[in-house]
Amino acid sequence: NAGVTQTPKFRVLKTGQSMTLLCAQDMNHEYMYWYRQDPGMGLRLIHYSVGEGTTAKGEVPDGYNVSRLKKQNFLLGLESAAPSQTSVYFCASSNRGSPPSGANVLTFGAGSRLTVL
Amino acid sequence: SQKIEQNSEALNIQEGKTATLTCNYTNYSPAYLQWYRQDPGRGPVFLLLIRENEKEKRKERLKVTFDTTLKQSLFHITASQPADSATYLCALLYTGGFKTIFGAGTRLFVKA
C-alpha cells in the first residue's frame, strides 16, 4: 500500500519556467491538499480539493494552479516559476467523516524539493 | 487570522526523561487539535488528535492536553528514547472546515 506518492522528488528550475508536481493516493480519500514548507514558517496550504473536479484556494495560492481530474490524482502547476517558490512541497490526503478515522487526519507524501534559480 | 505558536528553539533532553512540547494559538478554539511527527526529509505523520471538549488523550507513551481557556495544548513523551528525536507539529482544524492549520514545529533531541 503506497499511500501518497509525489513526483518528482527533486527539481531545479530557472525563473520563468513551468512545471507540474504530481500527487497520487491509493486510499480512496475524498480530500487532497498541497502545502509548502519553508524554514521557520511551518506548512502553508496552497490549494485543496474536496472531490473530483473541484478545487479551492488555500492560504498562499498565488502563482500556482491545480487540477483534480481523477479522484486519486491532484496536480500542482507553476506556470512561471519565481525564486520565492523555492520550497519543499507536500501533498496530503484525508477521508471524509469524523475523526479519528475520518476527516482531516492527513496522510502526507514524502515531499518534492523545488529550487528556482 | 489564526496563529499557532510553537517553541522555535530545539528541546534537548536526556533519554528516559519526559519531553513536554507546547502549542499556543490565538483567536477562537479549534474543534480538533492534532499532533504530527516529522523526520528530516520526510512528510509529517499523524500521532494524536484531541477534541475541543476533551481535556486529555493518551496513546502509549504519548499524552496530549487541551486547555481552551489558556488556548494551549501540551504534548508529552514519557520515557523518551533517542528514536523520539524529530520535529513535532501542532495543527488545528475548525468545525465545518477542510483546512488544517499547522505550527512551525519544535525540534526534539533525545540524548542517550
pLDDT digits (tens, 9 = 90+) for B47-94: 999 988 899 999 999 999 999 899 999 999 999 999 999 999 999 987
Is residue A107 very low, low, confident or very high in pLDDT (cuts 50, 70, 90)?
A: very high
- Ranking A3-12, A30-39, A61-70, B25-34 by mean pLDDT, the lowest is B25-34
Confidence band, pLDDT 50/70/90 cuts, at residue A1: low
SS3 A98: coil
Q: Which pLDDT score, from 0 to 100, does residue B93 have?
A: 85
C-alpha cell at B101: 492549520
Q: Residue A42's pLDDT is what?
A: 86
How far is it, in rounded angstroms, from Cα B107 to Cα A47? Answer: 27
Mutate which: B46, B53, B59, B62, vs A, most A CBs within 10 A: B46
For chain A, percent of residues with pLDDT exceeding 90: 82
Query: Which residues of chain A have a CB within 8 Å of the CB of B102?
Result: 35, 42-44
**Spatial contact of A57 and A49, defined as CB atoms under 8 Å apart:** no
In this complex, the residue of B41, B100, B105 whose CB is nearest that of residue A106 is B100
CA distances from A108 to A78, A93, B5, B42, B46 (A): 20, 7, 22, 9, 9
**A48 contacts B99? CB cut-off 8 A:** yes
Looking at the predicted structure, is the pLDDT value of residue A98 above 80?
A: no
> Is the pLDDT reported for residue A100 higher than 60?
no
Q: Which residues of A touch B32 (CB under 8 A)?
A: 99, 104
Q: Decide if A90 touches B, using CB distance below 8 A.
A: yes
Residues A9-50: tens digit of each pLDDT? 999 999 999 999 999 999 999 999 999 999 888 899 999 999
Q: Calculate Rg over the CA atoms of chain B.
A: 13
